[in-house]
A and B are shown apart, each in its own frame.
Chain A
């Protein structure tokens, strides 16, 4: 636990010492700000419903870039030999690193709190959906970052990690469209796996346990896979 904390701290420092957090933060906030302004101008309503959806889609592109470095770079630079031979479990390493990416994401999200603040200043928004929307954004983003962390564990090439991470997220995104083409229980079952489908209710102000559980399990599965991938490497190369 303590070691997870050490790894987390080092990783956060590394995020903010390199340009990556700033660049991705800028991209994410620029697009979010654009969506917020445009939607506000178009609808004239003190709500963030459409904004969250667009922010979520934007984050699908941002997440793999944030996480691609996490584990791939350790292997590239050989620092994984330090981590893997220290008395630290692989789970601690993966979780520590993953939480650092989540923390960085939370910093981005914290900046977007400006938007509801603006709404509150000029109008009287319904805070319920905004609160649940942020909860949904948090869970959704954390899930994306878990998939990205897994992708980063697969390779020592950051570029490949980023592309694979994006591919995985894209796949889980477009699964939601399948229900339109495939009807019946199969289509429903497949669309249940869509990461964005589960986000809809949060936007509307509904905090549903099943959606929350989906994201939590999604995170768990991908982090578990990342640990397995790293562990299996001991046997091969």
Chain B
């Protein structure tokens, strides 16, 4: 549905985005992840035609956004980072205006508007002036605006930023419900959000593609092993070697040793082979030794870690580069 190839955009000497290539399938929800200033907004603006790239192409539904901008734009609904609202208008008048801008024929306007209002849950504020409604509703008006005319592609730039937690959950639900029918590209710098909502994630950093995968795939790719935490009541020196003896354990690290009610406790982080579950063996071994397991929980390397890892490594490289050139 969306094909981005070798996209490069520079601002004067500063690099905006560099050689970005990815594609989005029909009906997919793609997350666009990166720290602030990574080039998410720039990329989205190029896809929507607000900006022009220095080189590379973007095709939306087969239409090149540079060569055939009007056809491409007809198929895109766009929610910029700041919802583009005219504060003095009522929600109703505003949506009507956007219908006209999008060239939705008069006969379909009422139906289209009703659909978007329904999807975005705008009914309670439909007749009100935009400047008087809450931030969450403003965001919804922005989303409704993007939905008008039932575009194939939705580009949502940080749709949940600045909302309260309840509103964030509502908007996420809304976005998730849009997948399938629409192809959605959603940007965010909040990781749980992306892993919750999106089927695939593009991570960009410093304008470059850092990774592209499913949320699970990303964390699996970095891990290559399984990891869990275990808290055992037993002598500080004796517990760790006994645990590392078990078959399948790759490595352990002692996270914490302390005393609870005068009894010694050890908190271990255990990394194991993916193919082998050592938790059962661990249980019997500890039972045999008479050291009770107080707590055991799997640690999934979260997308947050992936993200941190990807971006901090990149940063380190930069530091090294700078150091080398200096």
A interface residues, Cβ below 8 angstroms from B: 2-3, 6-7, 10, 13-14, 17-18, 77-89, 234-237
Contacts and interface: CB of A to CB of B under 8 A. Distances in A.
Contacts of B70: 87, 89
A83 B98 CA distance: 9
A3 B51 contact: no
Contacts of A83: 84, 101
A82 B98 contact: yes
B76 interface: yes
B8 interface: no
A234 B50 contact: yes
Contacts of A89: 70
Contacts of B50: 81, 84-85, 234
Interface residues of B, number: 32
Contacts of B49: 84-85
Given A78-B80, A87-B73, A234 B51 contact: yes
Please list the 3 inter-chain residue pairs (A to B) with the smallest Cβ-Cβ separation, ordered nearest first: A82-B84, A6-B100, A81-B80
A22 B133 CA distance: 26
A77 B52 CA distance: 21
Contact of B103 (A3, A82, A234): A3
A235 B49 CA distance: 11
B78 interface: yes
Contacts of A88: 101
Given A2-B103, A87-B70, A87-B71, 4 more contacts: A10-B86, A78-B82, A85-B48, A234-B52
Given A3-B100, A77-B84, A87-B73, A82 B51 contact: no
A231 to B, nearest CB: 9
Contacts of A14: 86, 88
A10 B51 CA distance: 25
B74 interface: yes
Contacts of A79: 84-86
8 contacts: A3-B101, A10-B97, A79-B84, A81-B84, A82-B84, A84-B49, A85-B49, A85-B50
Interface string B92-135: 01000110111100000000000000000000000000000000
A166 B87 CA distance: 28
A79 B85 CA distance: 6
B43 to A, nearest CB: 14
Contacts of A2: 100, 103
Interface in B13-59: 45, 48-52
Contacts of A10: 86, 89, 97
A83 B83 CA distance: 12
A87 B103 contact: yes
Contacts, number: 76
B65 to A, nearest CB: 10
**Main secondary structure on chain A at its contact with chain B?**
helix
A88 B102 CA distance: 8
Query: For A6, A81, A85, A235, which residue has the most chain B Cβ atoms within 10 angstroms?
Result: A85
Nearest to B65: A85
Contacts of A81: 45, 48, 50, 78, 80, 84
Contacts of B52: 234-235
Given A3-B100, A10-B86, A81-B50, A87 B74 contact: yes
Query: For A7, A18, A77, A82, which residue has the most chain B Cβ atoms within 10 angstroms?
Result: A82
A234 B102 CA distance: 20
Contacts of B93: 13
Query: For A6, A17, A18, which residue has the most chain B Cβ atoms within 10 angstroms?
Result: A6
A85 B153 CA distance: 13
A82 B80 CA distance: 8
Contacts of B11: 236-237
A6 B73 contact: no
A81 B101 CA distance: 12
A86 B101 contact: yes
A88 B51 CA distance: 15
A75 to B, nearest CB: 11
B145 interface: yes
B101 A17 contact: no
Contacts of B101: 3, 6-7, 82-83, 86-88
A3 B102 CA distance: 8
Contacts of B97: 6, 10
Contacts of A85: 48-50, 73, 76, 78
Contact of A87 (B86, B87, B102, B145): B102
Query: For A17, A79, A81, A83, which residue has the most chain B Cβ atoms within 10 angstroms?
Result: A81
Given A86-B73, A87-B70, A78 B88 contact: no
Contacts of B71: 87
B51 A78 contact: no
Contact of B88 (A6, A17, A234): A17
Query: For B89, B101, B103, B145, which residue has the most chain A Cβ atoms within 10 angstroms?
Result: B101
